[in-house]
Structure 1
Amino acid sequence: MYLSLLIMLIVGVLVGIFGAVLGIGGGMIITPILTLGFGLDIKYAIGASIVAVIATSSGATIAYLKDNVLNLRVAMFLELATSLGAIIGALLTGIINPLFLYLLFGLLLFFSGFNMVRKLWGHSRETGAAHDDRLATALKLDGSYYDKQLQKQIDYHVTNVPGGLSVMFGAGIASGLLGIGSGAFKVIAMDTFMQMPLKPSSSTSNLMMGVTAAASATIYFLNGSILPQIAVPMALGIIVGAAVGSRIMQHLSAKSIRIIFIPILLYLGLQMILKGFGVTI
């Protein structure tokens, strides 16, 4: 019993660190560990992963807000599209063929992974868009942050707001229809489409994940999918890990974060495409 609690606490710390650094939820790590390692029913594993996302967001967002790394206006603006998409996705359950969405978003993840490879080799800017965007300027979405790794203030412009909104709306539909997390899509919307620097993209994604997960956590709690004996120790570990990860991220280079993020994107893309054909890995 105590050994299992200790393992869940350690797993929580690791999930919190990676989640804070990359701006993604811990479902892809927690769910297989709980189902395969502990023999837990998938229903309770998903409930624990929802709590994990909220804990990661809470632990990391505090530090990112304090250091002014995340872009609060972008977060709230994109969250409108995600929430609307999630509602529509829930309403479309049973109408749209999930195969189409799995393939579409799997290909989008592959595209974003290869786009990050291109940026990794220095063929794209790491400091945001080069030019002003009228819509982004009107909405005051541009931002700045102090990069602790580069030891300088970075001012950046946001661009292609409709593209970012479209990705977030689609990710919301996928979340509502397929029951998947959308942390990776949040980073994609900001980094790939809106050309924000990777660090603000990752930290802003952390805040948005918590908002999205909190909306569905009540449902999971009421239907009994969240087991306190599983969720509590894992959440405690995640909060500690997220606080540590948020500090680590600010001292990493954008190149290092991409090196970690690229294989995860490609794995998620492959997983979604295979799921579309009924294969689970």
Structure 2
Amino acid sequence: MSEIIILFVGAIAAGLMGSLTGLGGGVIIIPLLTLGFGVPMHYAIGASLISVIGTSSGAAVAFVKEGFTNMRIGMFLEIATTAGAVSGALVSGFLNPNTIGIIFASILILTVLLNLKGKPDHQETLIKGSLADKLKLYGTFPDKDGIKHYASRNTIPGFLMMIFAGAMSGLLGIGSGALKVLAMDNMMKLPFKVSTTTSNFMIGVTAVAGALIYFQRGQIIPVIAAPVLIGVVVGSFIGSKTLMISKTKKLKVFFAIVITILSIYMMYNGVTKNFH
């Protein structure tokens, strides 16, 4: 019982940290379960995917209501992320847990670097006859100066990047939010608010696709997944309220250091074959 309480408290901390930095709770949950509790890698990934579904669902509703999320773009790109997530989850069944640990640590460092990087705020005009025009990948969002119009660019490169983001989600049990934002913000030139909110909307669907494979393999254990899910949701809620009064730049630097240390430790354990 005491282990479940400690896991619940750890999950709250993961959800809090994830929501304050925008990295999601999965980046903390995997190291917490594997290094802190000795949970086998594949079971930790299954529990993390369940927590990702919970946190994404709550936040996504609010963003859709506020008019930031572009559901058409999200649903189009979900074709790529879902295919990627299923592929990643299937591949994970053939990979050694230590190999997954090394890949996880590498993606974690990349995620931190992407998260610390300054984000340009794009606002592209629609090109008539383009693929974005044909697929209607454009829209509007509310701003303090009124309604802003935007359209996407580089549809094919963005779609391909989403397959990779989905694969990393299914393979590692994370939301891959930073990779999704990279595709929409840097490649497809969508406004930053639209990229982050649409990414949040997509993360849950991507995680469901991956989680189904882990569930079918019997790698989602309720006694692990339940406290993790509840804890991360509670932590994310606290984080969303704290975000209004916190100095996010200092927090991001602090958490980047913490996550970098975690990723190095994960890398070390993967190389020395300490995962099971």
TM-score w.r.t. the length of structure 1 is 0.70
Contact 2:123 2:149 in 1 (8 A): no
2:199 aligns with 205
Partner of 2:186: 192
| CA displacement at 1:192 relative to structure 2 | 1.5
Of 135, 139, 145, 1:143 maps to 139
Cα distance, 1:79 vs structure 2:
1.0
Measure the CA separation in 2 of the matches of 1:70 and 1:18. Answer: 23
Q: 2:214 matched to 1:215?
A: no
Letter in 2 for 1:132: L
* Residue of structure 2 equivalent to 1:49: 48
Shift of 1:163: 1.9
Task: Could you tell me which runs of 5 or more consecutive residues in structure 1 were left unpaired when the two chains were aligned.
Answer: none
Contact 1:88 / 1:173 at 8 angstroms: preserved in 2? yes
Alpha carbons of structure 1 residues 87 and 216: separation in structure 2 relative to 1, 3 Å:
closer
Q: Shift in Å at residue 55 of structure 1?
A: 1.1
Partner of 1:68: 67
> Do the aligned partners of residues 136 and 51 (structure 1) sit closer, same or farther apart at CA in structure 2, a change above 3 Å counting?
same
TM-score by length of 2: 0.71
Query: What is the Cα deviation at residue 214 of structure 1?
Result: 0.9
Q: Cα 1:170–1:230, aligned 2, differ >3 Å: closer, same or farther? A: closer
AA in 2 matched with 1:237: G
Instruction: State the alpha-carbon separation in 2 of the partners of residues 258 and 212 from structure 1.
Output: 27
SS in structure 2 at match of 1:144: strand
- Structure 1 segment 118-133 matched on structure 2, within 5 A: 119=118, 125-126=120-121, 128-133=122-127
Q: 1:154 deviation in Å? A: 4.0
Look up the match of 2:58.
59
How many residue pairs get aligned? The number is: 260
For residues 13 and 62 of structure 1, do their structure 2 counterparts lie closer, same or farther at Cα, with a shift above 3 Å needed?
farther
Q: Relative to 1, partners in 2 of residues 1:78 and 1:11: Cα closer, same or farther, differing over 3 Å?
A: same
How big is each residue's C-alpha offset from its partner over 1:154-192, in whole Å with a ceiling of 9 and x where there is no partner? 44332221221121123334556x545333211211121
Distance 1:234 1:115 in 2: 24
Amino acid at match of 2:135: L
Unaligned residue ranges in structure 2 (runs of 5+): none
How many percent identity over aligned positions?
40
- Return closer, same or farther for 1:280/1:168 CA change in 2, 3 Å cut-off: farther
Distance of aligned partners of 1:84 and 1:231 in 2 relative to their CA distance in 1, 3 Å threshold: closer
TM-aligned CA deviation for residue 28 of structure 1: 1.8
Judged with a 3 Å threshold, the aligned counterparts in structure 2 of structure 1 residues 15 and 69 are, in CA distance, closer, same or farther, namely farther
Mapped partners of 1:142, 1:89: distance in 2: 29
> What residue number does 1:82 align with?
81
- CA–CA distance in structure 2, aligned partners of residues 152 and 32 of structure 1: 43
In structure 2, the CA distance between the partners of 1:225 and 1:87, relative to structure 1 (3 Å rule), is: closer
